[in-house]
Every structure is written in structure tokens, then in C-alpha cells.
Structure 1
Amino acid sequence: MLPPDLALLRPSVRIEQTRRRLARLRGEGLVERIALPHAGRLRVRFPTPYGAQLASEWPELRRRRPRGTVSDPTAARLKVGHTLAVTETTLLFLEDARRHGELCRPLDWIPEIHHPIGGREAVIPDALMYYQRGPADGERGSMLRAFVEVDRAPWAPNVSPRSCLRTSASSATCPRSRGAACQPSRSRRSSWRTGAGHYPLFPRLLFVLDGTGPAGVENRIDALRATARALARSFLHEIPVLAASLADLLQHGPSAPVWHPVHDRDQRVHWTQSRHP
């Protein structure tokens, strides 16, 4: 789903040119649009079933189609708030990387990858992000991977971010194959393999909270912290689990020290730190 502020997608391209291209795609039946509620004439675009099928055949997007692709106006209206929050988070990381001479491109943000871990369980974050540290040209820095979960509404005790945290911790500390018993891993961040692929290190977890004020954000971080207390201590020591409000990301940028470790709400850190102190 494309946001109203199209200039952030390709800053070097004039907005009128982008709009003409989108109008052409709509004329060819590849994308459709809906008006945002209570937002005047602002519109968002989303791929039609034909557009999604065509895009999935591109070499860059093969085997990457999200499980919950929006393909009709009714579904788009139901999911527009959350989808735009995810898209806005994406653009913030892309713009931040560009500003700091680091590498995070649109195809480095992969939405809703299904990571089966056995026992009918799966890790399905809103996005898997690849982020290359160091200068975008010349010598490369370290490659960071993160599961990003965006939440913009109050949630019940066993769903959304808390559920994602528990499932991720279970899969990281107890890797297992289908039908096998859970056995502790000797090296919890050495590698992680699921049906969706292999990761040299288990990705860090980033929770982006939206749709509420500062007090609501603090309450959600407290809820994450309560969940974290039941997890293996080694998981929180080896794998950064951080939460920040979307408002802070918009004001300061994702690379600023605006992220709260779930084990210490009073501390603020950079999301790129290697582990919890």
C-alpha cells in the first residue's frame, strides 16, 4: 500500500511524475486507490489481484508475496490504518539510512514472512528488515537483521506484540524441526533456521507503538516487560528487544536513542546496539 506522501519513496523524482505513473498503472488495472477517511482528498494506492500476481513474478519478488496482501477496496479500508503505519515506519528507516550513508533499500524490507517453527507455531512479524551499516559506498559495515512489529491499538494479553515476543523467544531458545521435541540451543544467537530460510544470527526484535499517547506507550512497554520476565534470561541478554513510539521515530529518526529495552523502560538506546547491557 502506497502512502499519500509519495515524495518519500523516491526523493529524486518529481511528485507529478510519480502521480502520472500511478495513474497509468491504475488505467492498466494494476493498482487501485481509496480515499482516506476524514482526510479530505488524500488517497492511498494498493495492488489489484492482477497487479500483485504480476509483481510476484519479478525475480526480485519471487517467493516474497506477503500472506495478507490487500487486493480489494473493502479489505484495504479495513487494514489501511495498520498498513500505513507499517509503511510509514518503512520509509523512516529508508530515509534514515540514506541520510547516514548506510544501506537499507525498499527490497530490504520484507513484509509478513511466515517462519514456521513446528507445533503449528510460527513467527510472523510485520516485516523482516535488512540493514547494512557503514557507508553505502566503499567498505561495507555489519549486516543487521530485525523483526519489526508495528502496533497501533490496545491489544489483549495474548496477541500482537506480546505474542510475537513469546513466540520469537521460544523459537530462538528452542529451535526444533517438525515433530521434534524442544531442545535448548547451545548457542542462541549462533544461527536460526526455519522453513522460511536460514539466519546467521537470530534477528533483533523492534516494536513500534502507535495510536496512543505517551501514557499508553508506557503501558504497552510495561506489558512487554511483564512478558519478558517469563522468558529465558539468556534470550534477553543475547537478542536486543526494543520498543519505541512512532511519534519518537518521526521526531528524532530511528537511529536516535529513542528505543526502550524491554527489561529497562527508563533506559534509551540506539536500535543498532549489539546486545542489552
Structure 2
Amino acid sequence: MIGVDAGSGDRMAVAVLTQYRMATTEQMHRVIAPSVRIEQTRRRLARLRAEGLVDRITLPQAGRMRVWFPTAYGVQLVSEWPEMRGHRPSRTVSDPTAVRLKAGHTLTVAETTLAFLEDARRHGDVFRPLDWIPEVHHPIGSGEAVIPDALLYYRRGPVDGDNGAMLRAFVEVDRATMGPERLAAKLPAYERLHRYVPAVPGRRPTVQETAVEEWRRRYPLFPRVLFVLDGTGSVGVENRISALRAGAGQLAPSRFLHDVPILAASLAGLLHHSPSAPVWRPVHDPDRRVHWTGPAYR
């Protein structure tokens, strides 16, 4: 077991790898210790590997890039930490072959995390590494579920004397590994989640105890939905945004599109400008450019 306090870099490193499932050396450095030399992060990871908590593979097709991931022992240890309750993803990866096969998508999700994390640090907003929770399971009935790539908790810095707004978002990272229509098919699932009321066997709603949507048990407001698009050039991004617009237009009339901001942006745009820049496009009106932290976009 790590003989260090809760705020140590070692503890954070193992927690981040368990929550994110994997990350490159550079990504880990940017997450846990950007103010020191990267050699210190390399030594930290090597020490954790020697203790059996993390391991690594090398991706030859990516310039022999090292990718770190938690061992089964590391995952077991982290699951016992109070700060990780409810944070650990349902599907961790502790096998080198699985890491290699999942690296493309998972490392892109980690890069998206870093775009938000580094932007928050620049602006004094509150978004810590463990405020990005991958693959949170949300049932929508009939054995189906919505599982976004990540759930983001983000608090904007104080403005005009207030304490800052708490924002939540479902993040979907698309690397163009599926067709535009399959990407757009995620919208009906989120609309179902927005209206899904779980049935309680043997009970019916009453005036005193009305039916409540499942998401309200977790969130005071339904999280906004952010699509981050990668893996294609500008034409491919436009095709995907057009598909999302068409998908939104085919949804049955409901409060979903009215109440929930659904935005899309390219990962290249986030990295070049920053997530807080007006690079986001409402899927129902993609000619506009907006801030993701703003109000609903109707």
C-alpha cells in the first residue's frame, strides 16, 4: 500500500489512471504535476510500477509512446479510498492487450479531459482531475442505458460576488470510427434518459408521491450534452454536425431540446482555441458559435 497522505502525487497518479483507465506519460505529467520537470513524473510512474500499482505498454506505431494503466492490484487499492466512491468506471482496463486495443479512443478522451483541465487552471475555475468521470451508467429502461464517454463536473470562478455556477455535462468523444448516422442515434437515447421514469413494481404514482425522472435523483439539472469530434478534417466535422442536426430534427416534440444545451465542437478547435472559447455549435442551429458554459441555446 502507498504510504503517503491523501494529497500526494503518488495517490493522485494511481487514482487518475484508475479513473481514466490509461494515459501517456505526457498526459499524466500535465494532469498531476505540470509545474515540475517531466523527468519527475517519469520517476514517479516507474516507482509505482515497481510497487505493482501501475504498468505500461509501448505503442510502436506512435513513436514508441508509453501508455500507463493501473494493475488489478492498483484498481483494488483505489476502490477502497473514500474520495473514489462513485468515481471508478464500471469497466477498468488492467490487461496490456486490452489497453493496446482501446488506446486510440481512450487516449483521445484523456486529451479532451486535459483541454478542459488546462483551460480551468488558466481561468481560475474549479475542475480537478477526478471531476471527469468516464462511463457513468444511466438506465433508460428495457435493459438499455446511456453511458457517455465522460461526466464532467465544472464550477466557474466567482462572478460579480457569487460563488460561481456549477455545470455538469455529458461528453461524447467521436473519432469517426462510426458513421454520422450512428453518432446522431445517440440523441434519441439522451432524450429517453431525459424523460425516463423507472417503474416501481407493485406501486403506482399518487398525488402525494408523483413519478420522478431517474436523472433527477442524481442531478438538480439535466447535464448539457457535448459532442467532441475528432479523426477527420473540416469536411468530416461538418458532415457529423449535419447528421446531429438532422437527428435533433427527428426527435419527437418534448422539453429535451428546449431545456438541454446540446453542442458540438472539433477537438482541434478546443486545442487551438480552448473549450471556453465560442467554438461550440448548437446542434439545432449549427451556424451559431457559442460558449459551452452559457445558458440554454433556444
**Residue 24 in structure 1 maps to residue 47 in structure 2:** yes
**Residue 249 in structure 1 maps to residue 273 in structure 2:** no
Percent identity among equivalent residues? Answer: 64
- Preserved CA contact (<8 Å) 1:121 1:167: no
Pairwise CA distance, 1:153: 2.0
CA RMSD of aligned residues (A): 2.1
Q: Is the helix fraction higher in 1 or 2?
A: 2
Indicate the SS of the match to 1:150: strand
Matched with 1:165 is: 187
**Match 1:230 to one of 250, 260, 263:** 250
Letter in 2 for 1:83: T
Deviations 1:149-178 (A, max 9, x none): 10102414664x433321111121x23114
Matched with 2:154 is: 131
**Match 1:145 to one of 159, 162, 168:** 168
Letter in 2 for 1:62: R
- Preserved CA contact (<8 Å) 1:111 1:128: yes
Pairwise CA distance, 1:62: 2.0
Change (3 A) 1:60 1:151: same
In the TM superposition, what are the counterparts of 1:13-162 in structure 2 within 5 Å?
Answer: 13-135=36-158, 140-156=163-179, 159=182, 161-162=183-184
Indicate the SS of the match to 2:153: strand
- Preserved CA contact (<8 Å) 2:193 2:215: no
Pairwise CA distance, 1:98: 0.8
- Preserved CA contact (<8 Å) 1:4 1:43: yes
Once residues 245 and 101 of structure 1 are traced to their aligned partners in structure 2, the CA distance between those partners, rounded to angstroms, is 24
The unaligned stretches of length 5 or more in structure 2 are: 1-21, 202-211
Once residues 68 and 134 of structure 2 are traced to their aligned partners in structure 1, the CA distance between those partners, rounded to angstroms, is 17
- Preserved CA contact (<8 Å) 2:198 2:214: no
Greater CA deviation, 70-79 or 232-241? 232-241
Indicate the SS of the match to 1:199: coil
Greater CA deviation, 3-12 or 93-102? 3-12
- Preserved CA contact (<8 Å) 1:260 1:266: yes
Greater CA deviation, 74-83 or 234-243? 234-243
- Preserved CA contact (<8 Å) 2:279 2:290: yes
- Preserved CA contact (<8 Å) 2:140 2:192: no
Pairwise CA distance, 1:192: 5.1
Once residues 157 and 15 of structure 1 are traced to their aligned partners in structure 2, the CA distance between those partners, rounded to angstroms, is 39
Pairwise CA distance, 1:48: 1.2
* Structure exhibiting the larger radius of gyration computed from Cα positions: 2
Pairwise CA distance, 1:135: 3.9
Once residues 254 and 238 of structure 1 are traced to their aligned partners in structure 2, the CA distance between those partners, rounded to angstroms, is 21
Letter in 1 for 2:234: P
Once residues 179 and 224 of structure 1 are traced to their aligned partners in structure 2, the CA distance between those partners, rounded to angstroms, is 34
Q: Provide TM-score, normalisation by structure 2.
A: 0.82
Matched with 1:272 is: 293
Matched with 1:8 is: 30
Once residues 64 and 7 of structure 1 are traced to their aligned partners in structure 2, the CA distance between those partners, rounded to angstroms, is 21
Matched with 1:204 is: 224
